[in-house]
Structure 1
Amino acid sequence: MTRETRTLPAFAPGSVDTSFVIAGYDEVVTHDTLWDAHSHPFHELLWNERGASTAVVGSRIWTITPTLGLWMPAGTLHAGSATAGTWFRASFFGFRTTASISATPVAVEITPLLRLLLERLGEPGLADASRAATEALVLDVLEPSPRELLVRIPASQLLRPIADAVREDPADRRTLADWATVLGVSARTVTRAFTTETGTSFVRWVAAVRAQHAIGLLTRGWDVEAVAEQVGYRSASAFGAAFRRTTGLTPGAFRPE
């Protein structure tokens, strides 16, 4: 599979005059695509019509889906990726016309109402008054979501071997006690470090890594049983239950039609 890398500039917030309130963009990527680190002069809402993509800010990796988008404040340096066939969408919000809903990147639930409003803004010939009314409604319903597909990558010398091993092979079934033995420290030490660096427990962190990896495979057309085995679950039902707990969706929601 051919991989495409795109390089974009890094803009400071408001460094380019953007008179619009909300402008839309969408594209179906035909190859696995990587975006090098860049930033925009405007705020950006990323979401997908089909498939899944990722956005990376520092040590944090978000998965973006048709139901869970990501708000990227103007000037935030970020990289990204999408698998071939992903239909990604972006809504740009003028820096001087729109206040950011968050000072940092934050998940946004793409509700049916928000989706319909954003789609209406893309209708050709939309009257100015109708556009202004629709934009006002978008800004009214747009809000951060407490649910997000986020993995924070620990960077300490203690935890980096664990993070590298699990991300390389999500099927790795070693427990925190196993890792403590490997690293020659107490399980309590590893537990505290994991909570401090990632904001979550080791078990939940592994589940999130597995879910992100699984979404990538599902969007490529892998069947659920094969994905379950690839990411370390003993059955498709166990995988499905864990996946729903982490993402709020079934694995089938990410398989191409």
Structure 2
Amino acid sequence: MQKIRHTPVAPTRTQRLASGGEIDAHRHDDHQIAYASKGTIAVTTGAGSWVAPATRAIWIPAGTVHQHQAHGELDLHLVGLPATENPLGLGEPVVLAVSPLLRELIVAYTRDPEDDSPPHLRLRAVMLDRFKLSPEQPLHLPAPTDPLLRELHDILRADPSDSRSLDDLGRQIGAGARTLSRRLRDDLGLTYPQWRTQIRLHHSLILLADDTPVTAVAHRCGWSSPSTFIDVFRRTFGHTPGARPTA
């Protein structure tokens, strides 16, 4: 069994991680906000994974066992908040939009976390006020609890370009398409096409963080053409894969 570190105080700091670098499973008694001003960060918990490029941050509630993984060279900014202080009123991990202004506030605040001067405390207050205005983003990939769905999940995560029908995939794991569809609705509240699209979009963000060309990303994630991928990506995230969005 993997040992889970318990670090009571969630740190506030800036650190760098190489592409593929990880922070192993741990938990805090505090809330934490994780933001990558460069690269893409993935946070994984027992409930699934959340992925955030440089215009998104991840809220991690107190007590949540989680681990971080870097995709692309990562400049990671962590903000710890006492468990008694939940300015966003959130009890589950979520991805939040980060505007250009909020980005600069996070970077400035985490640059010198030991500074307790009145100007630095005012900076913190403004940063948290901006977070309260940040809309949640659809960047959560839920983890199934059903054993059959976990098998299916492993197949699709290993090769997001797998375009076989649910019937064909079901034969591989010994279940019918109707059974799998019902379990998807009960376990995740999703249809198979919705779930597969989420898996593909999640993987596309990771590939884009490693500077994979958009055409190659579309192919490796199973879209029939780059234009189809770009259209789905734009409708989901509000910007094209090759653009630097603003929140």
Q: TM-score range by the shorter chain?
A: 0.7 to 0.9
C-alpha displacement at 1:48, in angstroms? 1.2
Q: Does 1:10 align with 2:6?
A: yes
Match of 1:131 among 120, 128, 132: 120
TM-score (norm 2): 0.83
C-alpha displacement at 1:67, in angstroms? 1.7
The amino acid that maps onto 1:147 is Q
Runs (5+) with no aligned partner, structure 2: none
Tell me the equivalent position of 2:200: 210
C-alpha displacement at 1:42, in angstroms? 2.3
- Which aligned runs of 4 or more in structure 1 are off by greater than 6 angstroms? 123-127
The amino acid that maps onto 1:104 is E
Match of 2:164 among 154, 174, 179: 174
Match of 1:196 among 150, 169, 186: 186
Runs (5+) with no aligned partner, structure 1: 1-6
Contact map agreement 1:73 1:100 (CA 8 A) in 2: no
CA RMSD, 1 decimal: 2.8
Contact map agreement 2:41 2:53 (CA 8 A) in 1: yes
C-alpha displacement at 1:72, in angstroms? 0.8
Tell me the equivalent position of 1:80: 68
Instruction: Count residues in correspondence.
Output: 240
The amino acid that maps onto 1:77 is V
C-alpha displacement at 1:100, in angstroms? 6.1
Aligned residue runs from structure 1 range 1-257, under 5 A: 9-11=5-7, 15-16=8-9, 24-96=12-84, 101-122=89-110, 128-143=117-132, 145-180=135-170, 186-253=176-243
Distance 1:202 1:58 in 2: 21
**Identical amino acids, percent of aligned pairs:** 28
| Closer, same or farther: CA 237–31 of 1 in aligned 2, 3 Å | closer
C-alpha displacement at 1:132, in angstroms? 2.7
The amino acid that maps onto 1:63 is V
Contact map agreement 2:55 2:99 (CA 8 A) in 1: yes
The amino acid that maps onto 1:87 is D
- Give SS of 1:217's match: helix
Contact map agreement 1:33 1:84 (CA 8 A) in 2: no
The amino acid that maps onto 2:20 is D
C-alpha displacement at 1:51, in angstroms? 1.4
| Of 162-171 and 26-35, the range deviating more from structure 2 | 26-35
- Give SS of 2:202's match: helix
Distance 1:31 1:165 in 2: 24
C-alpha displacement at 1:98, in angstroms? 5.3
| Closer, same or farther: CA 167–31 of 1 in aligned 2, 3 Å | closer
1:93-122 deviation line (CA, Å, top 9, x unaligned): 234555563122222221233223323435
Contact map agreement 2:77 2:107 (CA 8 A) in 1: no
Distance 2:86 2:203 in 1: 34
TM-score (norm 1): 0.80
1:81-102 deviation line (CA, Å, top 9, x unaligned): 1134122222222345555631
C-alpha displacement at 1:223, in angstroms? 1.0
Distance 1:97 1:147 in 2: 22
Contact map agreement 1:191 1:201 (CA 8 A) in 2: yes
- Give SS of 1:56's match: strand
Distance 1:161 1:80 in 2: 23
Distance 1:164 1:123 in 2: 39
| Closer, same or farther: CA 167–190 of 1 in aligned 2, 3 Å | same
| Closer, same or farther: CA 231–133 of 1 in aligned 2, 3 Å | same
C-alpha displacement at 1:173, in angstroms? 0.5
The amino acid that maps onto 2:242 is G
